[in-house]
Structures are given as C-alpha cells and as structure tokens.
Amino acid sequence: MEHGKIVRIRFRMHNAPVIAGTRIPTSAVYSHRTGSTTTEIIEDYPRLTEADVLQAIAWEETRRNERAAS
C-alpha cells in the first residue's frame, strides 16, 4: 500500500480524490480535522497512517485555496 498518496480513479467514488488503496475521500478526512487529532482520525479510519491523514489534509487545503483564488 502506498502511504500519503492521493489518487483519482475514474468511476470510483464519483472520481473524488481518495487515499491510495482505500475508498476514503480526502474530503472526509479534511472534515474530521476540526476538533480531532490525527490519532482520533486514525481511530475513525484504522486503515490510514499518519502520513495518509496529513497528506489528505494538505491536499484538500491546497485544492480549496486554489478554488478560492480563482
């Protein structure tokens, strides 16, 4: 399994960005970041590593900042 990698696979999860090797959307991890620690997020999504969580949050922040700028 690749840790900390974000992928988009056509026809899977409506082409939403997910953490590689899972069907967990980056947006789901991002929404948990408020009020939750990385450890708590991993408890909710036990297949994830700390690298997965941090990468998903960073990816979503970048994506949302780019949308806001345009």
| Most distant CA atoms of the chain, gap in Å | 35
DSSP string, 18-32: EETTS--BHHHHHHH
Please tell me the number of Cα atoms within 13 Å of 69 on its side-chain side.
6
Q: Is the pTM of this model over 0.95?
A: no
What string of pLDDT tens digits covers the 70 residues of the chain? 566 799 998 888 889 999 998 999 999 999 998 889 999 999 999 999 999 999 999 999 998 898 898 8
